[in-house]
Structure 1
Amino acid sequence: MADDLGLFLPPRLREGGVTATAADDSTLGHLVESAGVPLPEVGRLVVDGAEADAAYRPRGGERVEVHAVTRPQAVPEPELRFLLDVHLGTLARRMRLLGIDTAYHNDCDDPVLVEQANAERRVLLTQDRGLLRRRNLWFGAYVRGTRPDAQLDDLLRRFAPPLAPWTLCTACNGPLRPVPKESVADEVEPGTLASVDSFARCGSCDRVYWHGSHGGHLDEIVAKARQTVEAVRG
């Protein structure tokens, strides 16, 4: 089992190999998931030195190598878009800050998430292993890390998505468009209006954005993300 997949195994199985007993109708994919590893996290499967797929039926006594997905991972869609489950709200906002098309709802259950991911061909990001095991999910990925900065780093290293910072609304994922300063005069504080010249408005929810005193921290997130993606792409 690849080191990167060890987090899915029970602690007692993380050192050394995993021994599994297959029933007559068990597939290799079933055995891998029975050990705790969701198939969307699995890359190459090698049985006694030969490439195999998840549908292969083990005969017994074989040595199986389970590799993690290759990073950066390709997605079979021309546009890389994401859908995040209810526990990844902060990550969703940071992805939108970077201009990554990110759908997020804080009140959707698993079947609805899978339905939307499939209908819109979005990669479903989650830390729910059970959700990743749903057979009808077209493409999913497990997000590593407990803090948003680690989660974002994992996402960037896994998919190396194209970045377009400051182009999406962090609240709703709508497009941001520059607007004249005069058009927001009634919506921002006088002090802000006096000190800021550039404003943008969300085309979906009408929120107004500008680069304010909080911008330093956001600038750091953007700069680090760009460096990470550049490094991954080589």
Structure 2
Amino acid sequence: MNQQALFRFHDSLKDFLPASRKDGWVSYGFKGQPAVKDAIEAMGVPHPEVDVVLVNDVPASFFYLLLERDRVEVYPARSHVSWPESYSFGVLDPAPDKFILDVHLGKLAKALRMLGFDTLYRNDYTDRAIAQVAAEEERVVLTRDVGLLKQKVIRWGYWLRSQHLAEQLTEVIRHFQLKPGMKPFERCLACNGKVVPVSKESVVDALPPKTKRYFNEFFQCPSCQRVYWKGSHYDRMQAFVKMARES
């Protein structure tokens, strides 16, 4: 026999819903006793974006078993409502500042690395591989694929609303409150390794002629051997970092 519960989604969680479900209470039909997490995802909202669940005005976990006529309210992080810390999944299990990105987000991966964040990216990652690495290494998944975020093993994740780099970076910085952890130019843009200062003599054979002539300060990634110096591109990179800090 079908049973009914009522759900209401708030703030940014409405982004996942069709227009007919964005406002007010929505009826959800079910059989048996599904976990509230499964019901939330069946309605289109991936669990990593949820921060607070209230069932009949009482905080509940994702494992709460849904009952006939339950009234469920679902809130994202940074909601318009201020909650006691004990209500928040994010407070109880805070997201790390390590990331893994899907295959469509190569530019964002480089931007996060430029700001100093441990960011994994490969253009041949499968969704299964992303979920597995995220679980094993305790990383946040960033993606444009809502379905990826619904995989059970993913604890933290965020669906990027924008398709434009600057807006995506602003979304991530604000959502995960990353400004205090920025350490620009510490990571290799190519492979994510940490760069270290090196002598000019140790990398001179890898330098273009004009670079050999005009620059004396160098950094290198021990992982992929890429060499960095503060050429004309450095001013553009500093401007990008300034924009990120002010976002």
TM tier relative to shorter chain? 0.7 to 0.9
Q: Which residue of 1 aligns with 2:220?
A: 201
Offset at 1:74? 5.4
Task: Say if 1:125 and 1:141, in contact at 8 Å, map to a contact too.
Answer: yes
Letter in structure 2 aligned against 1:12: S
Task: Say if 1:99 and 1:168, in contact at 8 Å, map to a contact too.
Answer: yes
Task: Say if 2:54 and 2:73, in contact at 8 Å, map to a contact too.
Answer: yes
Which whole-Å deviations, capped at 9, do the CAs of 1:15-73 have from their partners, x for residues lacking one?
A: 333221232222222221111000111111112221122222333333321100248x5
Seen in structure 2, the aligned counterparts of structure 1 residues 79 and 32 have a Cα distance that, compared at 3 Å, is closer
Q: Which residue of 2 aligns with 1:226?
A: 245
Letter in structure 2 aligned against 1:195: Y
Letter in structure 2 aligned against 1:111: R
Gap regions ≥5 residues in structure 1: 229-234
Task: Say if 1:83 and 1:117, in contact at 8 Å, map to a contact too.
Answer: yes
Report the identity percentage: 37
- TM-score, with structure 1 as normaliser: 0.88
Q: Which residue of 2 aligns with 1:231?
A: none
Which residue of 98, 109, 117 corresponds with 2:126? 109
Offset at 1:202? 0.7
Stretches (4+) displaced over 6 A: none
Which residue of 45, 57, 62 corresponds with 2:65? 57
Secondary structure of the residue aligned to 1:185 is helix
Letter in structure 1 aligned against 2:246: Q
Q: Which residue of 2 aligns with 1:129?
A: 146
Q: Which residue of 1 aligns with 2:208?
A: 189
Which whole-Å deviations, capped at 9, do the CAs of 1:183-234 have from their partners, x for residues lacking one?
A: 3332222222333232111110001111222223211221122334xxxxxx
Partners in 1 of 2:59 and 2:32 — Cα distance?
Answer: 21
Which whole-Å deviations, capped at 9, do the CAs of 1:149-196 have from their partners, x for residues lacking one?
A: 111111111222311111110000011111122333322222223332
Partners in 2 of 1:11 and 1:198 — Cα distance?
Answer: 56
Partners in 2 of 1:58 and 1:9 — Cα distance?
Answer: 20
Secondary structure of the residue aligned to 2:97 is coil
Task: Say if 1:96 and 1:170, in contact at 8 Å, map to a contact too.
Answer: yes
Task: Say if 1:77 and 1:121, in contact at 8 Å, map to a contact too.
Answer: no
Q: Which residue of 2 aligns with 1:94?
A: 111
The 10-residue stretch of structure 1 (190-199 or 163-172) with the greater mean CA deviation from structure 2: 190-199
Q: Which residue of 1 aligns with 2:43?
A: 35
Seen in structure 2, the aligned counterparts of structure 1 residues 169 and 74 have a Cα distance that, compared at 3 Å, is farther
RMSD: 2.1
The 10-residue stretch of structure 1 (78-87 or 98-107) with the greater mean CA deviation from structure 2: 78-87
The alignment covers a number of residue pairs equal to 227
Task: Say if 2:195 and 2:222, in contact at 8 Å, map to a contact too.
Answer: yes
Residues 97-176 of structure 1: matches in 2 within 5 Å? Answer: 97-161=114-178, 162-176=181-195
Task: Say if 1:202 and 1:208, in contact at 8 Å, map to a contact too.
Answer: yes
Letter in structure 2 aligned against 1:189: P
Task: Say if 2:220 and 2:226, in contact at 8 Å, map to a contact too.
Answer: yes
Partners in 1 of 2:133 and 2:72 — Cα distance?
Answer: 35
Q: Which residue of 2 aligns with 1:21?
A: 29
Letter in structure 1 aligned against 2:24: G
Offset at 1:110? 1.5
Task: Say if 2:119 and 2:192, in contact at 8 Å, map to a contact too.
Answer: yes
